[in-house]
């Protein structure tokens, strides 16, 4: 099973600022965690991060035929991007949304998730574990 794991804008700043919200681990730590999880589950993970909405849309489109499922943390684009929602709907692959923080307990604008409308599940507020939970769920459903 091939899982495309997409991370949106500013997640490359993990561990650099706002440790009270996002923790002290770096983006490199997150990639290592996802790769270890993939190995444990016996799947392949292609982990990517972009600060550009269009690049994320292109990667979602390219997933058609190259990936079996998508795990996505669209970061701030979660709350703004109909383009990412449309791309997820267009490829119609199993998709799960992840957020490091508990978006429901933060500013009201973070309660809206466009991408989440094309995802079967959301894991939020679990830190890195949310990615593992999402990958485990996709493997069970496969
Ligand atoms: O909790 C999450 O994973 C978010 O997707 C993170 C986004 C935020 O806009 C979403 O509402 C929730 C922000 C990612 C920025 O990450 C940073 C990490 C360290 C320092 C600064 C930003």
Q: Whose CA is nearest to atom 2 of ligand 1?
A: 99
Nearest atom of ligand 1 to the alpha carbon of 10: 15
Q: What tokens appear for 131 in the block?
A: 């990615």
Q: pTM, whole model, 2 decimals?
A: 0.97
Structural domain for 87, as ranges: 2-141
Cα diameter, the chain = 39
The domain that holds 96 is classified in CATH as: 3.40.50.9100
Tens digit of pLDDT for each residue in 76-110? 999 999 999 999 999 999 999 999 999 999 999 99
In DSSP terms, which residues pair with 3 in a beta bridge? 45, 69
- The residue with tokens 């669209």 is 74
> Do residues 91 and 65 lie in contact, with contact meaning Cβ atoms separated by under 8 Å?
no
Say whether 22 is catalytic: yes
- Which residues have any ligand 1 atom within 6 Å of their CB? 10-11, 13-14, 16-18, 22, 73, 75-76, 78, 99-101, 103, 110
Domains contained in the chain, number? 1
Say whether 99 is catalytic: yes
Question: In whole angstroms, how large is the CA radius of gyration of the chain?
Answer: 14
Give the mean pLDDT of 126-132.
97
Give the mean pLDDT of 103-125.
97
> Do residues 72 and 113 lie in contact, with contact meaning Cβ atoms separated by under 8 Å?
no
**The predicted structure's pLDDT at residue 58:** 98
pLDDT class of 18 with cuts at 50, 70, 90:
confident
Out of 4-8, 23-27, 110-114, least confident range:
23-27
């Amino acid at each position: 099973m091939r899982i495309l794991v997409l991370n949106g804008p500013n997640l490359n700043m993990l561990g650099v600022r706002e440790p009270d919200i996002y923790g002290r681990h770096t983006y490199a730590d997150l990639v290592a965690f996802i790769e270890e999880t993939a190995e444990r589950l016996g799947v392949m993970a292609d982990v990517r991060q972009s600060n550009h909405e269009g690049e994320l849309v292109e990667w979602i489109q390219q997933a058609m035929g190259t990936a079996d499922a998508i795990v996505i943390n669209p970061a701030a684009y979660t709350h703004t991007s109909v383009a990412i929602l449309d791309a997820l709907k267009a490829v119609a692959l199993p998709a799960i949304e992840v957020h490091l923080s508990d978006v429901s307990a933060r500013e009201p604008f973070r309660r809206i998730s466009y991408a989440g409308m094309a995802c079967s599940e959301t894991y939020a507020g679990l830190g890195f574990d949310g990615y593992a939970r999402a990958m485990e769920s996709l493997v069970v459903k496969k």
